[in-house]
Amino acid sequence: MEHYTMNLTLKVWRQQNGNTPGRFETYQVKNISSEMSFLEMIDVLNEEMIREGKDPIAFDHDCREGICGMCSMYIDGRPHGPWQQNTVCQLHMRAYKDGDTIVIEPWRANAFPVIKDLMVDRSSFDRIIQAGGFISVNTGSPVDANAIPVEKNMADAAFAAAACIGCGACVAACKNSSAMLFLSAKVTHLALLPQGHPERRTRAMNMVAQMDKEGFGACTNTGACEAVCPKGISIENIARLNREYLMAGLTSE
Amino acid sequence: MLDSKIPSGPLAQKWTDYKGHVKLVNPANKRKLEVIVVGTGLAGASAAASLGELGYKVKAFCFQDSPRRAHSIAAQGGINAAKNYQNDGDSVFRLFYDTVKGGDYRAREANVHRLAEVSVNIIDQCVAQGVPFARDYGGLLNNRSFGGTQVQRTFYAAGQTGQQLLIGAYQAMERQVALGNVQQFTRHEMLDVVIIDGKARGIICRNLVTGELERHFGHAVLLCTGGYGNVFYLSTNAMGSNVTAAWKAHKKGAFFGNPCFTQIHPTCIPVSGDHQSKLTLMSESLRNDGRIWVPKQKGDKRKPNDIPEEERDYYLERRYPAFGNLVPRDVASRAAKERCDAGYGVGTTGQAVYLDFKYNLINKYGKAEANKQGIQNPDLDTLIRLGKEVVKEEYGNLFDMYEKITGENPYEVPMRIYPAVHYTMGGLWVDYELMTTVKGLYALGEANFSDHGANRLGASALMQGLADGYFVIPYTIGNYLADDIATKPIPTDHPAFVAAEKEVADRISTLMNVKGKQTVESFHKRLGKIMWEKCGMARNENGLKEAITEIRELKKEFWSDVRIPGSVNEMNPELDKAGRVADFIELGELMCLDALNRNESCGGHFREESQTEEGEALRNDAGFSYVAAWEFKAEHDWNLHKEELSFEVAKPTQRSYK
Ligand SMILES: Cc1cc2nc3c(=O)[nH]c(=O)nc-3n(C[C@H](O)[C@H](O)[C@H](O)COP(=O)(O)OP(=O)(O)OC[C@H]3O[C@@H](n4cnc5c(N)ncnc54)[C@H](O)[C@@H]3O)c2cc1C
Ligand code: SF4
Ligand code: FES
């Protein structure tokens, strides 16, 4: 790969905390290498700001490998930035060229209140899982792992849904701030496996009820979520969730 | 005196006997007992879930915004278990033996045997929770190979095994949250242990959102806070991984075991420049199908695909014919360093070797697929196309990750890789029951020192984390708490809580008031450089002595010139980082001291003074067959305690993978 360096203009959302209004600030960054990751570019800016006695930009990140789901930046109108099936921590600066202007905002949704700058509170996702995103089995001695064969196709499909990293990009992309893609990925993961069957009825009902309580919006099938999901979670999961939900409604006493 | 509390009796019977005689707490009393679990990775989440299920009142803490984001989520390649589903001769004994040998005879036999025993239960448990492990067409579980073994015992979910296991444990824990048995505290960082009458009785932590300090009581405290590889600044660990919880415990009396035992992983994406904030692992599972080589000619500048077969040096296959590309990590890392130091390295910096998939892509997978699909005499393009599909299913996410970082397509061009800091075998010293030298204070998972000796085998950390949390602590903690059922919760206005909180508050305000000129990050980078150069892949007496002097100077400079922006009572990531770096600096000194004391080579610890003629690590069993457990006395002052290791079953020999 050819390396190059670039100068950029950043417009970044700054907000002291959840109780104060935010605003955009403009920054110039210089000599950014095309080999840097996007977050390393922000690191460079932050180091400079600290040296100048300013407050650095707060943002969430941890693994920087696209798997923990912590990073969350809305870049030029798209969660996680321009690359397909990618998290912002895996975005690299060769996506940009000298002179570009980049606008960076936090996830915006009522159920994800801003904590500071680009950090938001996603604990609503944990509460959705608490409502039913599990299989009720205690630690002990379950049956041998190979006692129940699982068709490879099913296991693969369950894995594909279980690959969700809980980042919330789907919510950020949705004009209704719906959490349906996240929720449907979990319901699908568990419904496709025989171990998850006994709780199918209640799981979908309880998780959807919790989602509504948290203030996420309804799904109108625009597909914006699927387009930005870093893990390629398919919108077909939402159709499956709707079937599970319907079935639960029909069969609940 | 260190008492490791290893049960008597034959090795294979110890754990069964222990469980048969351990003290129990009845269900009604469990509900009166509170347990603090710090950390929600595999070790912490599995412990919190299991203890919650048993009826204990659990409080679980993590610094991320959700328990599911603990660093365990990033584990890629797989988890070992002695299931012998492949019928290839595996057994509990073999897993035990491989692990003790892989650890270069510096681990405790009894712990390792227990680990091998419970490994089989882990897989059953995870499948019951809905962990979607890879399966074959018959619907049964699949396995792959990892380094240092000759059987296939590694269970996996593509290159995302840690993610799937952690989500299983996280969901089990969230279920207990919903049932009211576990209370979860996210974005909270533990900053001290509270000790009352010689027993751990709680913690002080900081709410990272508001900056407030909080006091929490527990009848016992479990530290499941992960490893400290980030002392090297650049490592494959997540950015937030740190030693702070373990270090605070150490300063309050918990001994630190084998701090210098660090694992340098052979296959990571090389450093690309000064801006580098972390390094990315390419899973060891890739060595199943990737062959490692460098050009036979020094400084060969040709593109890898232009270098003909006979001009490539597959140095691992050459040096270690029996294990080839699947030698243990320490061996593979040193071999890569040796080739690069000798001038055969590739890439712009010369600090890289190739990991090449072409051969197996065509010959193993391409041909097998062609056979399966009944294609007669397939041409090369067809073989490549078919092989790619299989490789994608096995490692797709890793190949994508490589391409995003380097901009190169590893299906076409060999990966460039180089060793990087990955895991710390050292950690808080614990006895057989996972208790530290402070009563009621336990350490689980990577945070303890216990099972991997001087080198961890691949796919064994996930196994250990889950073994500790699901299957060990639920028994051993009862043995302690059974004597504590009469202890009422201690109110957090107890003087010990007040004093501990004040200590934490004072330290934070000292840090904030330095108001110097240099950033936290710049100190961390400098520490990392000292550690990597002088306490990294190769160590010697002079270097270690220099490192100790340099680290002491760095510490002084840090406390007189660090600059932390913002204020205390708000979300302030620079302040969080400053506290962690301050602890890393102190730890760095102890690691160098330990490395200096251990004048032998073993596993990942390579003292240049102690090597065989062929450059392999040379152990000194007469002098160093012990666990070094360090007791903190005062600044720059530690006491060494030795836990002698005795090997009754796996008799130490010079490790050979030839
Ligand atoms: C990239 C990568 C790939 C790996 N792949 C494999 C693999 O394939 N197979 C394998 O066996 N092993 C693998 N490992 C190793 C393995 O992932 C780790 O050793 C293991 O997951 C550690 O688990 P843990 O529960 O001990 O700690 P962690 O998962 O690190 O969890 C630490 C927890 O402690 C919390 N914490 C830390 N400090 C504090 C504090 N002061 N206050 C409050 N909370 C705190 C954190 O929030 C977190 O919840 C890999 C490691 C890496 C880096
Ligand atoms: S469904 Fe996709 S976008 Fe939504 S939380 Fe999961 S990984 Fe993120
Ligand atoms: S930082 Fe973990 S997914 Fe981006």
| A60 interface with B at CB cutoff 8 Å | yes
Q: CB A139 to CB B46 under 8 A?
A: yes
Search chain B and give the residue with CA nearest A93: B405
CA angle B331, B335, B339 (to 5 degrees): 175
In a domain, A51, yes or no: yes
Q: How far is B586 from chain A (nearest CA, A)?
A: 23
Q: Amino acid letter at B14?
A: K
Q: Are residues A41 and A133 in the same domain?
A: no
Nearest protein CA to atom 7 of ligand 2, as residue: A164
Measured between alpha carbons, how far is B422 from B264 in angstroms, rounded to an integer? 6
Best probe of the B interface among A1, A42, A68, A71, by most B CBs < 10 A, is: A68
The DSSP annotation for B240-254 comes to: T--SHHHHHHHHTT-
Of the candidates B94, B106, B201, B329, the residue annotated as catalytic is B329
pLDDT band at A246 (very low <50, low <70, confident <90, very high): confident
CA-wise closest residue to B645 among B258, B265, B86 = B258
pLDDT tens-digit readout, A56-67 = 999 999 999 999
Q: What one-character DSSP code corresponds to residue B79?
A: E
Q: Which two tokens stand for residue B10?
A: 């034959």
**pLDDT value, residue A56:** 98
Q: How far is B400 from chain A (nearest CA, A)?
A: 10
- In which element (H, E) is residue B59 found? strand B57-61
**pLDDT value, residue B395:** 87
Q: Are residues A134 and A98 in the same domain?
A: no
Q: Are residues A32 and A82 in the same domain?
A: yes
**pLDDT value, residue A252:** 57
Q: Residues of chain B with pLDDT > 90: what percent?
A: 92
Q: CB A150 to CB B139 under 8 A?
A: yes
Measured between beta carbons, the chain B residues lying within 8 angstroms of A136 are 175
In a domain, A116, yes or no: no
Task: Give contacts of B 612-631 with A, CB under 8 A.
Answer: none
Under a CB-based contact definition with an 8 Å cutoff, are residues B383 and B375 in contact?
no
Average pLDDT over residues B361-373: 92
Q: Is the confidence at residue A253, as pLDDT, over 80? A: no
pLDDT tens-digit readout, A3-53 = 899 999 999 999 999 999 999 999 999 999 999 999 999 999 999 999 999
Task: Give contacts of A 104-143 with B, CB under 8 A.
Answer: 115-116, 119, 121-123, 125-126, 129-131, 133-143
Q: Amino acid letter at B171?
A: Q
Lowest mean pLDDT among A230-234, B284-288, B354-358, B501-505: B284-288
ipTM exceeding the 0.85 mark: yes
Q: Are residues A100 and A130 in the same domain?
A: no
Average pLDDT over residues B125-146: 95
**Owning domain of residue A217:** 124-251
pLDDT tens-digit readout, B271-327 = 988 899 999 999 888 988 899 999 999 989 999 999 999 999 999 999 999 999 999
Sign of CA dihedral B136, B137, B139, B140: negative
Phi and psi (nearest 5°) for A4? -150, 165
Q: Which atom of ligand 3 is nearest to the CA of A67?
A: 3
Longest dimension (CA), chain A: 65
Q: Which two tokens stand for residue A156?
A: 């693969």
Q: Is the CB of A63 under 6 A from ligand 3?
A: yes
Measured between alpha carbons, how far is A166 from B27 in angstroms, rounded to an integer? 35
Measured between beta carbons, the chain B residues lying within 8 angstroms of A207 are none
Q: Which of A55, A64, A149 sits opposite B278 (nearest CB)?
A: A64
pLDDT band at B1 (very low <50, low <70, confident <90, very high): confident
**Which residue, of A44, A70, A105, is where some domain finishes?**
A105
pLDDT band at B451 (very low <50, low <70, confident <90, very high): very high
In a domain, A216, yes or no: yes
Calculate how far, in angstroms, residue A61's C-alpha sits from the geometric centre of ligand 3. Answer: 5
Q: Is B329 marked active-site?
A: yes
pLDDT band at B112 (very low <50, low <70, confident <90, very high): very high
Longest dimension (CA), chain B: 81
Burial of B446 (0-12, 13-18, 19+ CB in 10 A): buried
Q: CB B571 to CB A115 under 8 A?
A: yes
In a domain, A114, yes or no: no
Domains of chain B (ranges; CATH) run 267-421 (3.90.700.10), 495-626 (1.20.58.100)
Measured between alpha carbons, how far is B431 from B655 in angstroms, rounded to an integer? 26
**pLDDT value, residue B285:** 84
Q: Mean pLDDT over all residues of chain B?
A: 96
Sequence-separated contacts (24+) of B358-361 with Cβ below 8 Å: B358/B414, B359/B291, B360/B289, B360/B290, B360/B291, B360/B387, B361/B289, B361/B387, B361/B388, B361/B391, B361/B411
**pLDDT value, residue B164:** 98
Q: Which of A126, A137, A159 sits opposite B157 (nearest CB)?
A: A159
Three-class SS state of B439: strand
Q: Is the CB of A61 under 6 A from ligand 3?
A: yes
Per DSSP, helices labelled H in A93-168 are 123-130, 152-162
Q: Are residues A129 and A243 in the same domain?
A: yes
Q: CB B239 to CB A143 under 8 A?
A: no
Q: Is the CB of A71 under 6 A from ligand 3?
A: yes
Q: Is the confidence at residue A250, as pLDDT, over 80? A: no
Q: Are residues A131 and A236 in the same domain?
A: yes
Measured between alpha carbons, how far is B80 from B86 in angstroms, rounded to an integer? 13
Q: Amino acid letter at A169?
A: A
Three-class SS state of B345: coil
Strand B353-356 vs strand B415-424: parallel, antiparallel, or unpaired? antiparallel
Calculate how far, in angstroms, residue B447's C-alpha sits from the geometric centre of ligand 1. Answer: 9
Q: How far is A246 from chain B (nearest CA, A)?
A: 23
Q: Are residues A247 and A136 in the same domain?
A: yes
**pLDDT value, residue B284:** 85
Q: Is the confidence at residue A141, as pLDDT, over 90? A: no
Q: Are residues A158 and A223 in the same domain?
A: yes
**pLDDT value, residue B611:** 94
Measured between beta carbons, the chain A residues lying within 8 angstroms of B517 are 51
Q: Are residues A99 and A129 in the same domain?
A: no
In a domain, A56, yes or no: yes
Under a CB-based contact definition with an 8 Å cutoff, are residues B346 and B408 in contact?
no
Q: Amino acid letter at B21?
A: H
Q: What one-character DSSP code corresponds to residue A2?
A: -
Q: How far is A26 from chain B (nearest CA, A)?
A: 19
Q: Are residues A24 and A87 in the same domain?
A: yes
Q: CB A152 to CB B471 under 8 A?
A: no
pLDDT tens-digit readout, B457-468 = 999 999 999 999
pLDDT tens-digit readout, B195-240 = 999 999 999 999 999 999 999 999 999 999 999 999 999 999 999 9
Q: CB B68 to CB A39 under 8 A?
A: no
Phi and psi (nearest 5°) for A70? -80, -40
**pLDDT value, residue A89:** 98
**pLDDT value, residue B115:** 98
How far is the CA of B552 from the CAs of B249, B546, B558, B576, in angstroms? 21, 10, 10, 22
Q: CB B571 to CB A130 under 8 A?
A: no
Q: Are residues A143 and A247 in the same domain?
A: yes
- Residues belonging to chain B: 658
CA-wise closest residue to A120 among A46, A58, A44 = A58
Task: Provide the number of structural domains found in chain A.
Answer: 2
Measured between alpha carbons, how far is B493 from B487 in angstroms, rounded to an integer? 16
Q: Amino acid letter at B578?
A: A
Interhelix angle B42-54/B161-178, nearest 10 degrees = 30
Strand partners, B519: B563
| A63 interface with B at CB cutoff 8 Å | yes
**pLDDT value, residue B161:** 96
Q: CB B573 to CB A190 under 8 A?
A: no
**Which residue matches tokens 């380097």?**
B406
- The residues lining ligand 2, judged by C-beta closer than 6 Å to any ligand atom, are A 164-170, 181-182, 185, 229-231, 233
Q: Mean pLDDT over all residues of chain A?
A: 96
Q: Are residues A143 and A60 in the same domain?
A: no
Measured between alpha carbons, how far is B183 from B536 in angstroms, rounded to an integer? 40
Average pLDDT over residues A118-128: 98
Task: Give contacts of B 439-478 with A, CB under 8 A.
Answer: 470-471, 474
CATH code of A229's domain: 1.10.1060.10
Measured between alpha carbons, how far is B532 from B539 in angstroms, rounded to an integer? 10
Q: Which two tokens stand for residue A228?
A: 């930005």
Measured between alpha carbons, how far is B510 from B512 in angstroms, rounded to an integer? 6
Q: CB A130 to CB B574 under 8 A?
A: no
Q: Which two tokens stand for residue A206?
A: 């309880």
Under a CB-based contact definition with an 8 Å cutoff, are residues B571 and A116 in contact?
yes
CA B202 to chain centre: 25
Work out how many CB contacts closer than 8 A connect A with B. Answer: 218
Q: Which of A35, A68, A150 sits opposite B135 (nearest CB)?
A: A150
In a domain, A153, yes or no: yes
Residue B458: half-sphere exposure toward Cβ, Cα within 13 Å = 37
Measured between alpha carbons, how far is A63 from A70 in angstroms, rounded to an integer? 8
Q: CB A68 to CB B124 under 8 A?
A: no
CATH code of A62's domain: 3.10.20.30
Q: What one-character DSSP code corresponds to residue B38?
A: E
Measured between alpha carbons, how far is B396 from B357 in angstroms, rounded to an integer? 13
Average pLDDT over residues B595-612: 96
Measured between beta carbons, the chain B residues lying within 8 angstroms of A159 are 132, 134, 157-158, 164
**Which residue matches tokens 């009563």?**
B439
| B69 interface with A at CB cutoff 8 Å | yes
Nearest protein CA to atom 13 of ligand 1, as residue: B75
Q: Is the CB of A235 under 6 A from ligand 3?
A: no
Q: How far is B537 from chain A (nearest CA, A)?
A: 24
Three-class SS state of A27: strand
In a domain, A140, yes or no: yes
| A89 interface with B at CB cutoff 8 Å | no
Q: Which two tokens stand for residue B273?
A: 């420049």
Q: Is the confidence at residue B643, as pLDDT, over 60? A: yes
Q: Which ligand is nearest to the CA of A37?
A: 3
pLDDT tens-digit readout, B86-107 = 999 999 999 999 999 999 999 9
**pLDDT value, residue A1:** 58
Nearest protein CA to atom 6 of ligand 2, as residue: A164
| B574 interface with A at CB cutoff 8 Å | yes
Measured between alpha carbons, how far is B150 from B90 in angstroms, rounded to an integer? 9
Q: CB B132 to CB A155 under 8 A?
A: yes
Under a CB-based contact definition with an 8 Å cutoff, are residues B631 and B641 in contact?
yes
In a domain, A110, yes or no: no
Q: CB B140 to CB A149 under 8 A?
A: yes
Measured between beta carbons, the chain A residues lying within 8 angstroms of B574 are 50, 56
Q: Which ligand is nearest to the CA of A168?
A: 2
Q: What one-character DSSP code corresponds to residue B482?
A: G
Measured between beta carbons, the chain B residues lying within 8 angstroms of A70 are 64-65, 69
Query: Probe ligand 2: pick from A231, A240, A241, max atoms within 8 Å of CB?
Result: A231
Under a CB-based contact definition with an 8 Å cutoff, are residues B575 and B512 in contact?
yes
